[in-house]
Chains A and B, each alone.
Chain A
Amino acid sequence: METTTFEGFDYKISPKELVMDVEHITLHDDGSSVTGDVYGAEIEFNEEMKKAEKNIMDILKECE
């Protein structure tokens, strides 16, 4: 399959299943809620970035 003829993947997981609550993003360094450190403030996103991120999530919600 070449990019010139690519018609898209028929995924099992819809893009809308990847939508996140971006108002309260937290980052797990270790991943475990038991042993991991969780950082919320560390992820630097300014207001412009947050707005664009919300737009992305809103578009994903409308995906099949």
Chain B
Amino acid sequence: MSYIKRFFDIYCKFISVDLIDTFENKRNIRIVNNAFVVFYAILSKNSSNEKKEKLLDNLEIIINSYILNKQNILNCNEFDFSNTFSLTKLQNTLDAYALSLKKYKHFFGNNSLFRQSLIECHNALSHILAGFKNSETSLNKNISKANNHFHRGVLDIYKTIIKDNYSKINKNKLIELRKKEFTSIGIDSNENTHTKDDIEQGYVDLVENI
């Protein structure tokens, strides 16, 4: 099994418990954060196979500990991890999400997690996992939907940084950006990547100038 498929096999165990546990306890966002950094690193061309294995081993320890003695409502054996899928569309999205996390740490501290954005990350990973349940076509559609969630997670982070630094923000640029963002509501960001990228870059620029 490839490292990517092993990742989703492990994340499936988390989701199979989280789907019901999240009603009793809030979603364990700290696990989602660990999952994202592992997912990001195993997709890097500079990560050795040894590092990928160790990262996945440690993520599995975290998730096995979380699911212990909790109700599991999915059968992860039903997912077809042999399906191949296109990853190309994910690179820019993951890079943008990683940059936003870096910015968040810069403004709020190197120990800070932001629930709202990590929920979008979890939704993105969930989409990809759900795609393994069906055909390869379904999988690739779910990857597009995952991109949308990562994009929302990026905007969540920049907006909260702006909110916290509102007095230092160029208001005219923010107003223009908000208008552009509003008029793009409902447009699938995968079909209009230009608008999506423009909006995302607009927020990046505002935060860069704080």
Contacts and interface: CB of A to CB of B under 8 A. Distances in A.
A12 B164 CA distance: 26
Interface residues of A, number: 51
Given A3-B4, A11-B98, A31-B157, A49 B61 contact: yes
Given A15-B47, A56-B38, A48 B160 contact: no
Contacts of A25: 30, 111-113
A20 B105 CA distance: 8
Contacts of A17: 98, 102
Contacts of A46: 65
A6 B26 CA distance: 36
A11 B95 contact: yes
Interface size class of B (residues with CB under 8 A): 35 or more
Contact of A28 (B34, B66, B95, B112): B112
Interface string A29-64: 111111110000011111011011101100110111
Interface string B124-154: 0000000000000000000000000000000
A13 B105 contact: no
B34 A60 contact: no
B58 interface: yes
B51 A63 contact: yes
Given A3-B87, A4-B84, A11-B94, A20 B111 contact: yes
A55 B54 contact: yes
Contact of B58 (A6, A23, A36, A52): A52
Contact of B108 (A4, A33, A64): A33
A1 B33 CA distance: 26
Given A15-B41, A27-B114, A52-B59, 12 more contacts: A13-B98, A15-B47, A20-B110, A21-B109, A26-B109, A28-B112, A28-B113, A30-B160, A31-B115, A51-B61, A56-B37, A60-B41
10 contacts: A1-B86, A2-B84, A9-B44, A9-B45, A13-B95, A24-B111, A29-B116, A30-B116, A31-B116, A56-B37
